[in-house]
Chains A and B, each alone.
Chain A
Amino acid sequence: MTAFAIRRLMQSAIVVLVMSVIVFFGVNIVGDPVDMLINPEADQEDIEIAIRALGLDKPIGEQYLFFLKNAFSGNLGKSFIFGEPALQLILQRMPATMELALAALFMAIVLGIPLGLYAGLRPHSPFSRITMATSILGFSLPTFWVGLMMIMVFAVMLGWLPSTGRGDEATFLGVTSSLFTMNGLSHMVMPALNLALLKISLVIRLTRAGTREAVLQDYIKFARAKGLRQSRIIFVHLLKNILIPVITVLGLEFGGLIAFSVVTETIFAWPGMGKLLIDSIQQLDRPVIVAYLIIIVLIFVVLNLIVDIMYSVLDPRVRLGDRKA
């Protein structure tokens, strides 16, 4: 277990390192931050001073080594635009993104699993067919288009829900979130659903496929031959088996929810990390971009680790790395 975790962390460190090189040099290929930052009207001397202050006068390789040295002490550089530490900027916006991603994950679970289960148990019922057809739409319609349509219908035409921003926040058990106010929730519904749409479809299909496969297995037939109640067969024998892949995939996809909230946050003007990233890319604010991507990679790494551990907890046949079965 420990050896497994250490090996995993080493691998992740390499991923982070490679990623930082690519992004660092990549941003420079896209454009020179100096052009974006400096008022062209300013005189030459001012420009030089500004450039030196940002460390952009040095060769790019040297800049990278400097960044790396600081990174090891937890300093990912200051935003060119805001002049604040990039890490701090991102962490400030992380709760908004996290609550959006969690709400989306929650929707994927509470809608996806029951719908998928039903569709798997009664594959020929009209309701199941409608569910499956809708899930194909969920997969194929682009997120931004669905987001715009939702705003059109529910905010503009019907006026039921606010279209932009994050609502009022409240603190509950030491956690501050807009999940705890009605106003906050009403702001959350559309963006969360928009973000969740793909995942709901994914969970429906995974659960349905798992169910259809499991009902044919001998162990389900044997459970029936034991005279168990239908509810026990479905919610213990069947669900416990199909939840293993569903939870694994959801755990991995949660990273995706965070990373790809970029689109949803932009459409709904949600003040999260994704929106910060888009703004930073537009302004070539390299420290923020690099810091954002490093954090995303770290989130993926941690999630992978959690999923691996959960997997071994859920499935008795799986034992982590060095422990023997």
Chain B
Amino acid sequence: MSAPKPTLAVEDLCTYFFTKSGVVKAVDKVSFEIGAGEVLGLVGESGSGKTVTGFSIVGLIDQPGRIVSGSIRYKGEELIGASEERLRHIRGNRIAMIFQDPTMTLNPVLRIDTQLVEAITAHSDTDARTAWEQSRDALGQVGIPSPEERLKCYPHELSGGMRQRVAIAIAFLNKPNLIIADEPTTALDVTIQAQIIYEAQTLCRKTGTALLWITHDLAVVAGLADRICVMYAGRIVEEGGADNVIDRPLHPYTAGLIGSVPSHNRRGKRLAQIPGSTPSLLNLPEGCAFRTRCKFNDDTCLEEPEVTHPAKDRSLRCFHPVSRGPAP
């Protein structure tokens, strides 16, 4: 038998938006893999293309956006160009998603039980009674007290944290192989944040579900992820084992992110150490997109840096890495 296929393999993915003002290369030549049960952290400032990457995987890119090229393989099966029915079967069943704002993700006019049960019956012939019991148990598993009563509620009757737990319960309902969690704690209080991360992590471990955890907050993934991809302006600029990347960042952008992780939580302020702001994807600087904000930039950076592998299990898009590579 050949080596086991990774749960997800993304290769040279390009997702562009064809807007009136020009082509927005929201995701450009992005590659990464997630093995079974692995947790991959995708980190980057807002607008760097993380969400678009997530939606590309499940085939939910809408006009004016389009996956232009690349490959997305789920357990070896190519998803780009797969039939809508096949994609529907994978969505929510094999690959589930959790969104950023829990107050917007649940349908305001449908009861919680409806929204859980339908997620089960969309993918199997489970009878209503069994589906309802599974839903109740799923709510219990994400730490929702008296799940039977909560099932009868409408979303607005629950707090933001509770609603995000419901969304997580929905994601886990069909025991998917991969969950894409798109900044699931960004909209929540710090204490709730920690609880949610804990619930999600525990469930993933228990069920062996792989996790793509998207965040703008390096501190969040530091303790959670096995591996980290750092995204900037639609590209993955650095990848490696989580501890490795955090201890020895190679890309100036990553180094800036780490420098700006505050010791105590002061949200919003933490990117201040990287001068300037995210460039518009419509007119990126020639060569390295980070050039205008990088203190190491020189004439070589007018070329586009290709992916290099400065160490085992590390990849990088930069001509002048910050430190001289990880210690052996």
- Chain A positions near chain B (C-beta within 8 angstroms): 217-219, 221-229, 232, 236-237, 240-241, 244, 314-317, 325
Contacts and interface: CB of A to CB of B under 8 A. Distances in A.
A218 B101 contact: yes
13 contacts: A219-B104, A226-B91, A226-B118, A227-B90, A227-B119, A227-B123, A236-B118, A237-B107, A237-B110, A240-B110, A244-B109, A317-B156, A325-B156
Nearest to B167: A222
Contacts of A240: 107, 109-110
Contacts of A227: 88-93, 119, 122-123
B122 A236 contact: no
B122 A225 contact: no
A221 B59 CA distance: 11
Contacts of B89: 227
B105 A222 contact: yes
Interface of B: 55, 58, 60, 88-93, 96-97, 99, 101, 104-111, 118-119, 122-123, 154, 156, 167, 170
B60 A223 contact: no
A232 B110 contact: no
Nearest to A223: B107
A221 B122 contact: no
A226 B92 contact: yes
Contact of B105 (A219, A236, A241): A219
B109 A225 contact: no
Nearest to A238: B107
Contacts of B97: 222, 225
B91 A218 contact: no
Nearest to A314: B109
Given A236-B110, A317-B154, A229 B88 contact: yes
B235 to A, nearest CB: 25
Given A221-B99, A317-B154, A232 B122 contact: yes
Given A222-B99, A228-B122, A236-B110, 18 more contacts: A218-B105, A219-B106, A221-B60, A222-B167, A223-B107, A225-B58, A226-B118, A226-B170, A227-B89, A227-B90, A227-B119, A227-B122, A227-B123, A244-B109, A315-B108, A316-B154, A317-B109, A317-B156
B82 to A, nearest CB: 13
Contact of A232 (B55, B118, B154, B156): B118
B181 to A, nearest CB: 12
A316 B156 contact: yes
Contacts of A223: 107
A223 B110 CA distance: 12
A95 B55 CA distance: 56
A236 B111 CA distance: 12
Contacts of B123: 227
Contact of B108 (A219, A221, A228): A219
A225 B110 contact: no
A39 to B, nearest CB: 65
Contacts of A222: 97, 99, 105-107, 167
B92 A241 contact: no
A317 B107 contact: no
A316 B114 CA distance: 14
Interface-central residue, A218, A219, A226, by most chain B CB under 10 Å: A226
B162 to A, nearest CB: 16
Contacts of B96: 225-226
A217 B108 CA distance: 11
B278 to A, nearest CB: 23
Given A218-B99, A221-B99, A316-B154, A228 B106 contact: no
Interface-central residue, A227, A240, A325, by most chain B CB under 10 Å: A227
A227 B122 CA distance: 7
Contacts of A218: 99, 101, 104-105
A218 B122 CA distance: 19
Q: What are the 8 A-B residue pairs with the smallest beta carbon separation, nearest first?
A: A227-B92, A227-B91, A218-B104, A226-B92, A316-B154, A225-B97, A222-B105, A219-B107
A232 B154 CA distance: 19
Given A224-B60, A227-B88, A317-B156, A217 B104 contact: yes
A244 B108 CA distance: 12
A223 B122 CA distance: 11
A219 B119 CA distance: 13
A114 to B, nearest CB: 20
A60 B234 CA distance: 80
A224 B91 contact: yes
A124 to B, nearest CB: 9
A236 B92 CA distance: 18
Contacts of A244: 109
Contacts of B91: 224-227
Contacts of A225: 58, 60, 91-92, 96-97, 99
Contacts of A224: 60, 91
A310 to B, nearest CB: 13
A317 B108 CA distance: 8
Contacts of B154: 316-317
Contacts of B90: 227
B92 A316 contact: no
B311 to A, nearest CB: 36
A229 B104 contact: no
Contacts of A217: 104
A229 B111 CA distance: 18
A228 B167 contact: no
Nearest to B108: A317
Contacts of B106: 219, 222
A318 to B, nearest CB: 10
A102 B33 CA distance: 61
A313 to B, nearest CB: 11
A241 B107 CA distance: 8
A226 B97 CA distance: 8
